[in-house]
Chains A and B, each alone.
Chain A
């Protein structure tokens, strides 16, 4: 296993820039997830790491070795492809053996590796089958097995779960996480699914339009998104982003949602009211509040620190089973909240809600970046 250092990696096709100055430092054993909408450049970046595409600028170091101009086969990197890319003319055993055979590993050692890998992935009974005789999940395992066989320094996963059905996807996600914990491997994983990114990563790089928007732990990316794009992209339902006016009060700051008549005023907790946000007093900001920060107020409830009550009208109720999503109006804008599964609310009803602003984030209206 090894560390990976990307320095100012760029890629352009003629005048079109696909990747702008991507720099990522990855420690040994990290699980980096590249996430973003389609066309954000995440797959291009992965292909550059694999050596399948050449960067137009910047450099890559794997465990201190410059691999920018090294051929893909000589980088000591394995890749699991979206379509699994199993060789249809070879049996499962031959597929797993192939990278070793190409590297002229001797026969006895090859067989031993195939056996070890297939035992670990529980595909021993499939070794003599051809890929077309396997189910999606089994193919996935074989593809991972082939990547494991030659014990590379770095693993690449290119949207490996996107061809599986929903149930299998969740199972395989857990498998991959287990595998990472067991192997302590360094992994770069590409996906457009933010839940996969959250569950698997030790660090997430959120990309958009060839620019890295944020690089951080899942906690940071979720709770302290660097800009409104990251805030909206990570998490389901997406973070509520509402225009609000910052106003100075006797003992701090408050956010005013909506206009004079139907305005809702929320006090900013002392922890958030310091420094940067204070300089926005009297101006508009974009307030980011997660759906789970809000709950339905029960009679006799007392607001804790950072919590306060507000009244709002319910617009839509969406039960999901585990919990119920409600769209309410806050200062004239739609606001999604995540409530208990069995709340007794009806559309059009007015209700009292309790909001916890302990994780409030605010963004500049112009630059849309985090005010911190």
Chain B
């Protein structure tokens, strides 16, 4: 953003002399920003340096210091050999489980959200607002309340302890959010485009797939990031509705940290935690600017 840059802020007449002069307020601002950035970077730094140290160094040394002897052994251990519960499998199978869970769950809940948003905004039917209100309400229901009914339902469906079951739970929980996102985006969508498409011969799904979805990139990105992060990081459902073969990564990480006998391998724990956080970090880094842009899109251009 150009207007934040100090050289732009100086009036044109004094540009030559004032090029190096920073106003006091701006210096203070930068100091505060740098300090806050350090606060946020510190845990990441601690995780990284300690995951690259032998265990001895952590026990004897300082958490903040760089490793004397660099090693990737903790990462390898966390990935493929560390004890998860009773099995020495490492996090790898559960990393795969999480992907098998997250990808379909994000895709399905996003598509249903788009469909719901389309119907709620383009077809004025009786009770549309009531239905939307009810869907919104699901966003505010605490996870714990539905644990037992959900366990019964999964049992009845024969999905208890499976990844499919977890996909179902996360899709059901995500629909409220995805519907909210898409409904608000499509409420501001130019109605003439939809009417024009209908006159041009596009049917129910034609309007959705040819007109609405291709013009929904910002809100799709927002929804995908939101759903990916939530489902990837979700712990309670994973802990409640899965068994050893279908644990998502969050549950496995918990087991890794809690199941070491004897010595706590902090370096392995740090590496494991970092592995678990990597996919969401990547998603944010790759599409972060779309995320901000998407969240702003509705408010700026109403």
Contact = CB atoms under 8 A, between A and B. Distances in A.
A72 B198 contact: yes
A50 B195 CA distance: 10
B65 interface: no
B193 A87 contact: yes
Contact of A50 (B199, B214, B215): B199
B196 A81 contact: yes
A314 to B, nearest CB: 48
A89 B214 contact: yes
A308 interface: no
Contacts, number: 55
Interface string A160-196: 0000000000000000000000000000000000000
Interface in B183-239: 190, 192-193, 195-203, 206, 210-211, 214-215
Interface in A120-150: 146, 150
B201 A81 contact: no
Contacts of B190: 83, 85
Given A87-B211, A88-B215, A102-B206, A81 B197 contact: no
Nearest to A77: B199
Contacts of A78: 199
Given A81-B192, A82-B192, A85-B192, A146 B200 contact: yes
Interface of B is mostly: helix
A83 B200 contact: no
Interface residues of B, number: 17
Best-buried of B196, B197, B210 by chain A (most CB within 10 Å): B196
A52 interface: yes
Interface residues of A, number: 21
Nearest to A103: B201
Contact of A73 (B202, B211, B215): B202
Contact of A99 (B192, B200, B214): B200
A225 B23 CA distance: 71
Interface in A7-59: 50-52
A79 interface: yes
Contacts of A89: 211, 214-215
B200 A52 contact: no
A98 interface: yes
A19 to B, nearest CB: 19
Interface string A72-116: 110001110111010111000000001100110000000000000
Contacts of A79: 195-196, 199
Nearest to A52: B195
Contact of B195 (A77, A81, A87, A98): A81
A102 B198 CA distance: 10
B30 to A, nearest CB: 37
Interface in B105-153: none
Nearest to A158: B192
B201 A102 contact: yes
Contacts of B192: 81-83, 85
Contacts of A50: 195, 199
Nearest to A143: B196
A98 B198 contact: no
Contact of A102 (B200, B214, B215): B200
Given A83-B192, A85-B193, A98 B199 contact: no
B200 to A, nearest CB: 4
A99 B197 CA distance: 8
A197 to B, nearest CB: 22
A296 to B, nearest CB: 49
A51 B201 CA distance: 12
A82 B193 CA distance: 11
B114 to A, nearest CB: 15
Contacts of B196: 79, 81, 85, 87
Contacts of B206: 102
Contacts of A82: 192
B195 A102 contact: no
Contacts of B200: 73, 98-99, 102, 146, 150
A82 B198 CA distance: 16
A70 to B, nearest CB: 12
A77 B192 CA distance: 16
Nearest to B200: A99
Nearest to A75: B199
A78 B201 CA distance: 10
For B190, B197, B199, B203, which residue has the most chain A Cβ atoms within 10 angstroms? B199
A146 B214 CA distance: 19
Nearest to A84: B192
A89 to B, nearest CB: 4
Nearest to B202: A102
A85 B195 contact: yes
A87 B200 CA distance: 12
Interface string B158-194: 0000000000000000000000000000000010110
Contacts of B211: 87, 89
Q: Which 9 A-B pairs have the closest CB atoms?
A: A102-B201, A85-B196, A99-B200, A89-B214, A85-B192, A73-B201, A81-B192, A72-B199, A83-B192
Interface of A: 50-52, 72-73, 77-79, 81-83, 85, 87-89, 98-99, 102-103, 146, 150
Given A81-B196, A89-B211, A98-B200, 12 more contacts: A72-B195, A73-B199, A73-B201, A78-B199, A79-B199, A81-B192, A85-B190, A88-B193, A89-B215, A102-B202, A102-B206, A150-B200
19 contacts: A50-B199, A72-B199, A73-B201, A78-B199, A79-B199, A81-B192, A81-B195, A82-B192, A85-B190, A85-B195, A87-B193, A87-B197, A87-B210, A87-B211, A88-B193, A89-B215, A98-B197, A98-B200, A102-B200
